[in-house]
Amino acid sequence: MAVNTIDSQVYEVVDVSAVCPHPRNARRGNIGAIRASLDENGFYGAIFAQKSTGYILRGNHTYLASVQNGLAQVAVVWVDVDDDRALRILLADNRTSDLATYDTEALAALLSELEDLGGTGFNADDLLNLLTESQRASEIDDTGLDDAGVELMTLADELQLKWQVNPGDVFDLHHCRIACGSSANEDFVHQFSPGSARMIWTDPPYGVNYQEKNERVNKVKGSKTRRRKAIANDENNQAHIIFRDAIKAADVLPGCSLYASVPSGPLLIDFVAAFAPAGFSYRHLLVWVKNSAVFGRSDYHYQHEPILYGWDVRGPHYFSKDRKGKTSVFMVDRPNASAEHPTMKPIELVREMIENSSRPTEIVYDPFCGSGTTLLACHQTNRKGYGVELEPAFVSVILERFERLGVTPIKVAS
């Protein structure tokens, strides 16, 4: 029997009968996953056990999996402590594991590098969820002034308790306005519109059920994080129809410019096709290039997002006379921090397009206002922003963001 010492603790290889699971261990481990790891990777590390009793303090389920796999001996570190200290060690080992979290983007990248997931404890569904979370985190705004917005989107439900927004409520935010309701309801949109818009900038729901995946992530994270707020219509596979109807219902000037942030892949074609029925001509595919890629299972990892650009067919559109250096590529960093709202965009990205396609004091409209990034960009550039958002909690986020900028929201209709 090999015996060594590690910081005064005795380490040795013993027969499995020399130790036993702690009778008061409250943890219920996944022995099947541990057995799979042992099969793939072998036994590594050591079990920690109380010297006086042989009770295992760390590695109870590794021990059980080892026995079930037919191991005759295990490596043990003997800990010479009394019963009270032994229980504290047992509890602390389990609890500190509970308190740990993952850098989901780093984990997704690591798992994506493996040819298979055997012996890792992760399966294909786990990887899909991680990739989804990493993908959506990469699409979060917030650059500069907007950093607080990321945090606020995780607080949507709490902020709703503060602001008590109801469908039909309309708030003035200095020279901006937000209305809570459906952007496909033409009467509602026009009733509260401050005037016809020179430009639309919007990030419509994508037609992918991100909330279903969010719920799966929420179940995994449990109480360690605030729950993700659902995005209305995001699961609808006819999202391009919702987008089309909202654009048709908008109060716009002839020649109004339209910018729509849309997904890559097959859904992009559906959104392009929605321009004409809404009375707009699709003219350019713009590209937001991020400072780092999002790891996925595609042959090519995405480092960009498409933004569709066109204008109302009833008249000439406006574009800045200063075209020097303006290309179809927008190089704007994405933040390193993650957040809980899947569709926020950097203010810097929206602001540049607003300055290209509208003049100061003109109206910019966002029919899917979400976290209010378009309105904040209008606030920064002296445009009149008008937004409609279906979800009251997200309207609460917008109100909070403006209040933090020193703008007091004023309810003008309910």
pLDDT digits (tens, 9 = 90+) for 222-251: 433 344 455 555 444 678 999 999 999 999
Assess whether 8 and 154 both reside in one domain: no
**Could you give the C-alpha distances from 393 to 156, 173, 217, 230, 244, in angstroms and in order?**
5, 17, 21, 10, 24
Assess whether 215 and 327 both reside in one domain: yes
Residue 377 belongs to some domain of the structure: yes
Cα gap 359→382, rounded to integer Å: 9
pLDDT at 215: 46
Residue 357 belongs to some domain of the structure: yes
pLDDT at 338: 33
SS3 389: strand
Assess whether 388 and 308 both reside in one domain: yes
Residue 133 belongs to some domain of the structure: no
Assess whether 250 and 386 both reside in one domain: yes
Residue 109 belongs to some domain of the structure: no
Assess whether 228 and 316 both reside in one domain: yes
Its domain, for residue 301, covers: 140-413
Single-letter amino acid code for the residue at 244 = R
Assess whether 192 and 329 both reside in one domain: yes
Single-letter amino acid code for the residue at 29 = G
Domain of 72, CATH number, reads: 3.90.1530.10
Given 99, 126, 153, the domain boundary residue is 99
How many domains in the chain?
A: 2
Residue 291 belongs to some domain of the structure: yes
Residue 125 belongs to some domain of the structure: no
Cα gap 130→311, rounded to integer Å: 37
Residue 302 belongs to some domain of the structure: yes
Assess whether 173 and 49 both reside in one domain: no
Assess whether 406 and 302 both reside in one domain: yes
Residue 105 belongs to some domain of the structure: no
Interacting residues of 268 by C-beta distance below 8 A, sequence separation 6+: 262, 306, 308
pLDDT at 162: 94
Given 99, 123, 152, the domain boundary residue is 99
Each residue's pLDDT, cut to its tens digit, for the chain (414 residues) gives 455 545 556 679 999 999 999 999 988 888 888 888 888 888 888 899 999 999 999 989 989 988 998 989 999 999 999 999 999 998 888 888 778 777 777 777 777 777 777 778 777 666 666 665 555 444 433 333 344 555 566 688 889 999 999 999 999 999 999 999 999 999 999 999 999 999 999 999 875 444 443 443 344 334 333 444 555 554 446 789 999 999 999 999 999 999 999 988 888 999 999 999 999 999 999 999 987 776 666 677 778 999 999 999 999 999 998 877 789 999 987 754 434 344 568 899 999 999 999 999 999 999 999 989 999 999 999 999 999 999 999 999 999 999 999 999 999 999
Identify whether the C-beta of residue 354 lies closer than 8 Å to the C-beta of residue 197.
Answer: no
Assess whether 152 and 10 both reside in one domain: no
Single-letter amino acid code for the residue at 300 = Y
Assess whether 295 and 389 both reside in one domain: yes
Domain of 387, CATH number, reads: 3.40.50.150
Given 99, 132, 157, the domain boundary residue is 99
Cα gap 393→157, rounded to integer Å: 6
| pTM, 2 dp | 0.61
Strand order of the β-sheet with 170-173 is: 329-331, 280-294, 302-312, 252-261, 197-202, 363-366, 384-389, 176-180, 170-173, 410-413
Assess whether 185 and 289 both reside in one domain: yes
| Helix (H), strand (E) at residue 129 | helix 124-137
3-state helix, strand, coil in the chain (%, to 5): 40, 25, 40
Structure tokens of 71? 């191991």
Give the number of other Cβ atoms within 10 Å of residue 267's Cβ. 16
Assess whether 91 and 153 both reside in one domain: no
